[in-house]
Amino acid sequence: MTDSGASLYAKTTELLCQAVAADTLHRYSEALGLYNNALKSIAELQKQYTGHQRTQLESKFCEYSGRVSVLLQQLSDNPAYFGDLDKARVGLNAAHKQHLQGCVDAALDLYIGSIGCYQRILRQTKSAGSDSTKGKQWRRELLKFANTCLKEAEIAKQTAFPATAFSESAHSESPTLTASDAQSTLQLQMSGLSLQTNGEPDNTCRSEHTSTPESRRNSMHFTPQSQHLSPGTGSSNTSTSSTSNAHSSRDTMTNASPPYTNGTHTERLTEDETQVVRITSHINGLTFLPWLENDKSENFVMPSYFTDKDGLLTLSRKQQRKLWQWRRASHLYGHPQIFGQHGCGHIVQETVTDCSFVAALCVSVEYEHRFKRQLITQHVYPKGRNGMPEFNPAGKYMVKLFVNGLWRRVVIDDLLPVGETGKLLCTYSVTGDIGQSLMEKAFLKVMGGYDFPGSNASTDLHVLTGWIPEHVFVQDQAFDAERTWTRMHDGLEQGSVLLTIATGEMGSDVAASLGLVPSHAYAVLDAREVCGHQLLRVKNPWNSLRWTGAFSHADQISWTPDLMRALDYDPKTEHDDQGIFWIDFASVCHRFDAIHLNWNPRVFAHQASVHFSWNMDMGPRQALHDFSANPQYTLVAEHGTAEVWILLSKHLLKTEENVDFIALHVYDNTNGRRVYEPRAALHIGEYVNTQHVLVQLTARQGEKYTLVVAQREKTKPLHFTLRALSSTPVRLVQAPVPMYCEDVTGQWGSASAGGNTASPRYMDNPQFQITIPPNAPLTSGIITLETAHKHPVNIRVFRGGFLVTRVLEINTVATSGKYRSQFCTCELEALEPGSSYTVVVSTFEPFMFSRFKLRIGLGSLFTVAPIAREGAGMRMRELHGKWMPGSKCVGGPDQSYHKCPRFLVRTECETRVLARLQTPHAKSLPLVNVSVYEFDDAVLGTLCASSGSYTNSPQGVATRQSTIGRTGCEFLVVASAWDHDVDASFVLYFYSEHTVEVTPLFY
C-alpha cells in the first residue's frame, strides 16, 4: 500500500467510527454526513485495489450505503418523497446484491433506476424552494450520496468492461452532479453505459432491513491488506481435494466466490461452480442465496412487524376453501415457544399434503430429545443465549436449509394461514409451539408454497439436516431384511441415522383394517430388539390413526409382561391416539414399500464435492450407448482401502413431476480415464426418477475409479452436486479429456458404404490420415464414431497413413472391436512422433447409408485429412470374366498366361493406369494376381505393372499406378490364379487417367 493509500485507509476508518458512534447516539443527521464522507473515501480506495481486497471494499460500501439510504428516508420530512426514496432504497439493496454476486449488468441497471429516483427528488426540492436549514442540509446529503452511488456504478462498470469508461480519458475526474445541472449530467453519464441485460433485473434484496449500528460497529474494520483466504473447492474442471471435518484444505484456492457452507465444511467455488450456484439459487420463482458466515449477524430487531417481500405462500385448494385469514403468531399465541417441547408427540400434520416433511420433522425433533444435540433447531434464527431459537415480536425469522448442494438462507415472516374455526391450516403443535409451523413455512417457501405435491422423507430430511439420503425398497429382489435391520438398529442406537418408512398404494378397505394410510410417510422414533422380537416405534404425522396389527395397542396376544416391562409400554393404557405405535419389522417388510435412511455425514472424516451442469448440447439426447459427453469424474482414495459413499444430487429449479431418470455408474480398471461407451463396470446404476442417487463402494488405495453420470433421455439442462465421503482422504476431479481434439463429419453413400473387413468393398469406406509431428512426444488418445442411424459401426486404425486396400492384422494398430450400434470407440496407445496412421470407418454391411461424426482426441498436436479413394480422378472400366478349368486356365507355376483371361488395352497417349482384380462371388478365395504387359505383334513383352505375390484377400489384388502408352503400342492385362483347378468368376476394375480402349481377348 502506498503512503497516500495508507492515509486514506486510516481516514476512512476514523470516519466510519465517528459515523457509527453518531448513529448509535441517534444523531442521525450527523451520522448521515459522516457516512457519506466515508463512502466517498471507500470509493476512492477501491480504485487502488483489485481482487479480494476490492471485493471486501465493495461489500463494505454496500453495507454502509444501505444504512445511508435508510437514514435519508427517515430524515425526510416531506411525504411526497417517500415513494421515490423507498424505491431508491430497495433498488440500491438489489444493486448491491447483484454487484457482489458479479452480475454487473443487472447491478448497473438497478443503480440507474435508484439514482433516477434521487434525481426526481432533487428536481422536486429545487422547484419547491425549501429554505429551511434542515431541508438544505438534507438535500446536500442526498446530492452527495447520489454522486457517490454514481461513482460506485462507474467502478462496477470499469471492473466488468475495462475498455469502456464513463469519460473519455482514463485519468479524468469521475462525473459529479450539481444542484443546477444534475439531471442533464446524470442522463449524459448514464447514456454512456451501453447496458445489455439478459431479461429483467433481479430486484430482490437479501433483507428488508439493514444491520444495526451495533452490528456494524463490530464489523466495520475492513482489512484490504489481508491475504487470508478461506479454503476453496474444486469445480467441474479442476481438482477438489478432500476436506476434514476438523480442518478444510484445498489444492487450489480461488477468489471466485465467497466461502459457502457445503455439508460439514466450508468451500470456495470456481467460476464454473459459481455459475451453477447462481442458476440454481433461483427456485420456484424466488432467489435463495447461499449461506455466508455473516448471515448469523442478520438484524431481527425492528420498530414494526416484518413482512416477507416475497409475499404470502400459495395455498392448496383445500386450504383456500377453509381459509379465514393470515394471522401473526403473536396474535395467535401471545409469546409462544419455538421448539421448546420435548419429543414429537405434539406435532400434527394439518391440511397440507406434506407427510414426508412432517415425518422428517418428527424424527429430527425426536433425535434432539433423545441425544440432547441440536440438529434442526441450530438452523433457526434469531437465537437466545442458550443457542435455541427464540420468539421474535417483529415476526422475522431466518432458517438455514440445505438446498441444491449448499446451505442457503430462507427469510420468512410469521404470518400463518388460519381457518374459520381459528385452527391453523398448516403443521402445528397442540401445545402452541410455533417452531414446527415456521420450519414448515420456510421449507415450503423453497418448494413453491403450501400446495406441495409431496416428496419422500429422506429427500426432505436432506434439506432440513444435510444428512445423506438412502432409499431401500422393500419389494426389491436385492432387499436383505436382516442386514437392513442391523443397519437401522445400530444406526439409531448410535445416533448416526434418521429413519422414516413409507407405504405404497393399497386398497382403502385393506388400509382401514390395518390402521394404515396408503402412500404415506411415517416417522421411526426407535428400533428395539427385545425378547426375540425386532420392533419399531413409529409415528403417523397425522397425530392419529394407528397400526392395528401385530404388536399394536389392539394386539392382545403379542404383549407379554417381559416385553411390556422392557419397553415400558402397556397397550391397555394407550387410550390417547397420537398416531404413535409399535410394529414388528416383519410387518413393516410386508406392509410398507420403502425404508428411508439419512446418515450423519460427520461419521466420515473426509469429503470432496463438485457442482456441475449437464446442458442440452452435451452429447446426444439419448446417451444409453454413448457416454462421450456425459459428466465424468475420477475418484481416488489416497491413503488405504476405504469405504466411500458417493451421492449424486440433482438440483431443484421447479417443484413438478420428476421425469428425469438419472443414474450413477462406477467403473474400475480405467485408471480414472473417461468411459466412452457402456461396458463391464464395478457398479451399473439403475435409472431412477429421484432427486438423489447413492452408491457405496470399497475403494482400494491408489486405484482411480471413473464415475459416470447418466440419464435415460435429456429433456432440459440439469444441474448436479456430486459428493464423495470417506474415512480417508479422497480426491474428486473431472475425468481427463484429450488435450487436442478434431471433429470430422462425413457419410456412407452408394460409393462409400463398403461394409466390414470381409467385404470386397471395404477399401471404399471413408478413410482418414492422422499425422503426428516429429517433435511431439509419444502420445495416446481416443477416437469416437457416432452415426445418425442405428447401423452397426466400427473403427480400425492402420500404420502408414496411406489408402488401405487390403486388411492385414500385422498392420493393424487398433480397433473398436465388435461392430456396435450407432456408436463405438477406439483407444490409441503409444502413437509414435513423426508417424502417420490411417483410420477406416465402416458399417457392418455394404450400402448402409448414414451421416457420421468422427472425433479424434490425442494428447499431442496432430493433423487429420481425408484420404482419396482408389482411382480418384481417373476413368474406371468394370470388366467381368471367369476362370474355367480346361478352357481358360491359369498362370501360376507354369506361367501359362496365354490360357488366362486377358484384356487388350490401346491408348493414343501416355496415361497413368491401375488395375484391381477381385473374386467377390467365389466360395473360397483363390490366390490371384493381376499384371500389365506390353503387347507387340502378339508377343508378350515387358512387365509394366503387377500386384506382386499371389494373394487371396477379400479386397482382391491391385497394381500400383503406372504410366503406359507409346504411340501405336498395345498393352495386355492378365488376370491369373495360382491353382489350375480354379472355377470362379472375377471382376476387373481398370482405371486410367485418359480415355483408353479395353477389349477382352477370348481363346
Instruction: Assess contact for 972 and 942: CB atoms under 8 A.
Output: no
Of 417 and 576, the one with more pLDDT: 417
3-state SS, residue 843: strand
pLDDT score at 9: 82
Of the two residues 65 and 789, the one the predictor is more confident about is: 789
pLDDT of res. 343: 84
What pLDDT, on a 0 to 100 scale, did the predictor assign at position 809? 85
Would you say residue 919 has pLDDT above 70? yes
Mean pLDDT of all residues belonging to the chain: 83
Total residues found in the chain within this entry: 1003
In the predicted model, is pLDDT for residue 382 greater than 90? yes
CA–CA gap between residue 351 and residue 473 (Å, rounded): 28
Spatial CA neighbour of 212 closest among 302, 294, 138, 140 = 302
Give the ranges where 161-261 is alpha helix by DSSP (H). 182-191, 213-219
Distance in angstroms (rounded) separating the CA atoms of residues 667 and 735: 12
Q: Is the pLDDT of residue 44 over 50?
A: yes
d(CA 115, CA 185): 12
Residue 927's Cβ-count burial label (10 Å; 0-12, 13-18, 19+) is middle
Q: Please tell me the distance from the alpha carbon of residue 424 to that of residue 243, in angstroms, as a whole number.
A: 44
Lowest mean per-residue pLDDT among 469-473, 772-776, 934-938: 934-938
- The span from the CA of 129 to the CA of 124, in Å, is 9
What strands, in cross-sheet order, belong to the sheet with 718-726?
243-244, 606-614, 718-726, 642-650, 692-699
Pick the range with the lowest mean pLDDT from 363-372, 396-405, 443-452, 622-631: 622-631
pLDDT at 474 > cutoff 70? yes
What average pLDDT score do residues 591-607 get? 94
What is the four-CA torsion angle of 441, 443, 448, 450, rounded to 10 degrees?
A: -40
Q: Average pLDDT, stretch 778-795?
A: 93
Q: Which of 651, 746, 658, 644 is nearest to 700 (CA)?
A: 644
- What residues contact residue 429 under an 8 Å CB cut-off, 6+ apart? 341, 346, 347, 348, 435, 436, 437
Q: What percent of the chain has pLDDT over 90?
A: 50
Q: What is the pLDDT of residue 886?
A: 66
Q: Is the pLDDT of residue 183 over 60?
A: no
Between 85-99, 175-189, 279-293, 319-333, the lowest mean confidence (pLDDT) is in 175-189
Residue 382, preceding peptide bond in cis (omega within 30° of 0): yes
Looking at residue 895, its pLDDT comes to 59
Query: 3-state SS of the chain: helix, strand, coil percent to 5?
Result: 30, 30, 45
pLDDT bucket at 201, cuts 50 / 70 / 90: very low
Average pLDDT over residues 869-881: 91
What is d(CA 107, CA 98) in angstroms, rounded to the nearest whole number? 5
pLDDT at 120: 80
Q: Are 755 and 807 in contact (CB under 8 A)?
A: no
Q: In the beta sheet, which residues pair with residue 798?
A: 812, 838
Across 675-696, average pLDDT:
91
Q: Which residue has the cell 430486484?
A: 203
- Judge residue 436's burial from the number of C-beta atoms within 10 Å of its C-beta, 0-12 exposed, 13-18 middle, 19 or more buried: buried
Asked if the model's pLDDT at residue 142 lies above 90, the reply is no
For 384, the grid coordinates are 437466545
Mean pLDDT for 409-430 is 93
Q: What is the DSSP string of 387-432?
A: SSB---TT-EEEEEEEETTEEEEEEEE-EEEEETTS-BSS-EETT-
Answer whether residue 36 shows pLDDT above 80: yes
Mean pLDDT calculated for residue range 717-726 = 95
Asked if residue 3 has pLDDT above 70, the reply is no
User: Is the confidence at residue 702, as pLDDT, over 90?
Assistant: no
pLDDT for residue 220 is more than 70: no
Q: Which pLDDT value is given to residue 607?
A: 92
Q: What does the DSSP 8-state code read for residue 688?
A: B
In the chain, the amino acid numbered 222 is: F
Looking at residue 572, what is its pLDDT? Answer: 79
Residue 406's DSSP bridge partners are 403
CB 753 within 8 A of CB 792: no
225 pLDDT exceeds 60?
Answer: no
Q: Average pLDDT of 398-409?
A: 96
Pairing of β 820-821 and β 792-799: antiparallel
Q: DSSP states of 76-125 as a string?
A: ---GGGHHHHHHHHHHHHHHHHHHHHT-HHHHHHHHHHHHHHHHHHHHHH
Q: What is the pLDDT of residue 966?
A: 67
From residue 782, alpha-carbon distances to 665, 748, 785, 794, 825 in Å are 20, 22, 10, 14, 7
pLDDT higher at 343 or 787: 787
Q: Return the pLDDT at 65.
A: 80
What's the pLDDT at 168? 29
What does the pLDDT average to over 194-198?
26
Buried b (16+ CB within 10 A) or exposed e, 225-263: eeeeeebbbbbbebbbbbbeeeebebeeebebbbbbbbb
**Range in 203-212, 488-497, 625-634 the model is least confident about:** 203-212
Check residues 49 and 480 and name the one with the higher pLDDT.
480
User: Could you tell me which of 428, 438, 347, 358 has the C-alpha nearest to residue 390?
Assistant: 438
E strand map for 657-703: 662-667, 692-699
Kindly tell me if the per-residue pLDDT of 733 is higher than 60: yes
CB of 976 closer than 8 Å to CB of 890? yes
User: 76 or 665, which is more confident?
Assistant: 665
Give the residue, 594 or 108, on which the prediction is more confident: 594
Cell matching residue 387: 443457542
Helix axes 28-46, 51-75, angle to 10 degrees: 160
Which amino acid does the sequence have at 440? Answer: E
- Look at residue 180 and tell me whether its pLDDT is greater than 50: no
Dist. CA 423–CA 431, nearest whole Å: 13
Residue 206: pLDDT above 50?
no
**pLDDT single digits (tens) 551-593:** 988 888 888 999 989 988 888 777 777 889 999 999 999 999 9
Question: Between residues 199 and 740, which one has the greater pLDDT?
Answer: 740
Distance of alpha carbon 192 from the chain centroid:
37
Q: What is the mean pLDDT of residues 616-639?
A: 84
Bridge partners (DSSP) of residue 168 are none
Contacting residues for 172 by C-beta, under 8 A, at least 6 apart: 165
What distance in Å separates the CA atoms of residue 646 and residue 633, rounded to the nearest whole number?
11
CA atoms within 13 A on the CB side of 893: 2
Can you give the pLDDT at residue 157?
67
Report residue 914's pLDDT band, with 50, 70 and 90 as the boundaries.
very high
Q: How many CB atoms lie within 10 A of CB 593?
A: 16
Structure confidence at residue 219 (pLDDT): 38
